[in-house]
Chains A and B, each alone.
Chain A
Amino acid sequence: MSAHEFEPRIVGFLCRWCSYNGADLAGTSRMKYPPNLIPIKTNCSGRVDPTHVMKAFAEGADGVLISGCHPGDCHYINGNWRTAGRYPMMKKLLEQLNIDPRRLRLEWVSAAEGDKWARVVTEFIEEVRELGPLGWKDQVADEYEQQEAVSA
């Protein structure tokens, strides 16, 4: 692998009851998957405010993965139903902002599905790798520098 190959930076929001334990299981079972995902533990996938997703992209993430309990298994009864509702809206919004909606992904991973976790993360990283860098921070910075140069 060359040193210049693009390595996607993925932010993962994992619910503490299912997906975080699923990721733990993948680790303790010594399953191998790429290290590009930064996991953030949330109480529930329903706690993932769309602001968090936007902030992740704005701060330089190339992809965002939200992962929670399977519908019906939510520790808070229906927190993940809300996530299910936000997801298509966020996808549509990203599309309007000319960001490939595939950069955002929602998955249900239970505490017993370490293998699914490893598979989902591997797949998602490969998908984002193909999409290439998003580079939001650089885009905005460049833009402002250009504007200030013109006005000076």
Chain B
Amino acid sequence: MNITIALAGNPNSGKTTLFNALTGSNQYVGNWAGVTVERKEAVFDIGEDRATLVDLPGVYSLSPYSIEENITRHFIAQHQPDVVLNIVDATNLERNLYLTLQLMELERPVVVALNLMDELKRRGESIDCARLAKALGAPVVPISAKRRQGFDALFQAIHDQAHDPRTAYPARNYDASTRDALREIVEALGGFSSHSAFDIDEHFEHRDQNERDDDHSPRADHRHIGGYDDEGDVDYAPPTMWVALKLLEGDELLKETAQLSDSQRARIRAAVQAYVARGQQVHPGIDSLTMVVDARYRRIAELLREAGYRRREREISTSDKIDRVVTNRYLAFPIFLIVMGLMFAVTFGAPGTFLTGLTESLVGFIGDQASQGLAAIAAPEWIRSLVCDGVIAGVGGVLVFLPQILLIFLFMSVLEDSGYMARAAFITDRLLRKFGLSGRSFIPMLMGFGCTTTAIIAARGVENERDRRMTILLTPFMSCGARLPVYALFTAAFFPNNRALVVLSLYALGMLMMIVCGLVLRKTAFREGDSPFLMELPPYRVPHARSVLKRLWDRAKDFLTRAGTLIFAMSVLIWFLQSFTPGLQWTTDSATSIFGRIGAFIAPVFAPLGFGQWEKGVALMSGLVAKEAVVSTLQVLYSAGSSAQLTQAIAAHFTPLSAYAFLVFILLYVPCVAALAAARRELRSAKYFAMTVCIQLGVAYGVTFLVYQIGRLIVG
């Protein structure tokens, strides 16, 4: 039998660890249709069954407010997985069980995997899983995802739920007042339709706990509420009881899509009002949503009591002691700077440069071998050029980033798993919020000074989608390392006495533009969403080598795949544009190439910026391949044999003002293709990508224009 298992749980509950432990390496990673959230699936065997495990996004609840929540709820309600595997963090039972109750309201068979049981015991707490299972109406299996313990029992429970599904009646998790309101709403909706396998009384009947009939597996009655979700399935039909609950909570969207008659609406409104009136006798001013949420939490307290669970008063833990130093008012920032400095020194300093050099030599070696090999078989010159100057130089130019990307990810994985990343976000959030970012954006922004591509990929650590997109958009304003050779060349030619000052002014200008754009975007395209910033400071843990290496491997695989496909194609395209005339004649003279012609064509556009000559336009376009390519292109175009000659040529072709304007443009215009490809991929939206490119080009053009024109007024 083929069974589909949906894996759901809170963020930080060990969901990814469990997914990897269950499925090994045979995963398929894609995206959810139409949205931007990663979708992971894997197939593995449970006994004679072939199980497809679908990793749902980590969520705290199933409200219709975030993409992640919509995906999770929609997948379970609409695709009806055979089993919902709910991973629960045993050290955080109350909040995790909140999701469990909501999952069970979707009336699919649930298996609860109680993770981190060892940690619960270490705290001196205990829980009776059998009693919890009985009270909850779903099997509860203690496991340790990290140590791969308890999996046999887990498989058995999944097997049983798949072959003999049992779901509990969700209405029973509510108190008498809530049940009365629900009954009234279900009846207003027309009750359960006649073909239903069970009747409404059974649903609501309040039985003795011991009488709870787990042997019953109701086939839930469903109600069509097409158009409720992003997915836009017209036949979307979650359980009627769930619809009633949402109506009781006052879900505005559902009121519209449930297609109710006026009399139905009136009856439901009356039921909700009566319910709220009962609640306000206890808590004045309370609303129905808060009452339903509170009812779930009260049920959870009841469940835990029945399972013999007693929460121990929180003691001062090792994590708290570490935090007293790490988030200390005076020590927090110095420690943070040391950690960041170390990360930087290793990645972009000697160790990283050494590995990059090694990769470069390897690429160079392959290039030479290919060149010689092609010469040996007397291949035409254009083939040699395509292979060596196009493919190997292009793909190789991107491949050299791999060691640094892996180093950064090694650091990031270790920082993330150890719990420090959350602290870094905690201490920097206040600063970054001013620019429409959050604490999570700090590390990617800082890495932008090293390499934009790496930084954009690192923005994955920013959980909130809006913040992540802002981070990706703003990171290129942090002047990356590849722009330094260009700065070095021009400052040597024009500002030999003030080189550091000029370069520093460029870095400062980049940061200023980041802040200005951040402020503007926060007020316009990226308005602060109506969702609060919530974060957890997980306990410090020693990172697990296997999971760190797994992520590094995934990252490397991903990067290599891209280098082999997208970057390969781009390299060939750019080579073609550089090597052929518009009449498709092979040429070695850049001026006559398509690129050169485009350069000549767009040159007037740059005239108001102070560099309206075709060589400069072509140099800027070659900067798209890699920023340092601007230098080599100018070298070719000005036929400068040595760097001294190049400095002279630059001095002859630029004025100090146009040179500075040129540098400003280099600083601000779109990053290289590798970074653009990364941005396109990580933004996962053509619209935002187009917007990013437009903003960067617009800002570069506008600022350079101002610098040059105002400069001309001053210089005269």
Q: Tell whether A and B belong to one assembly.
A: no
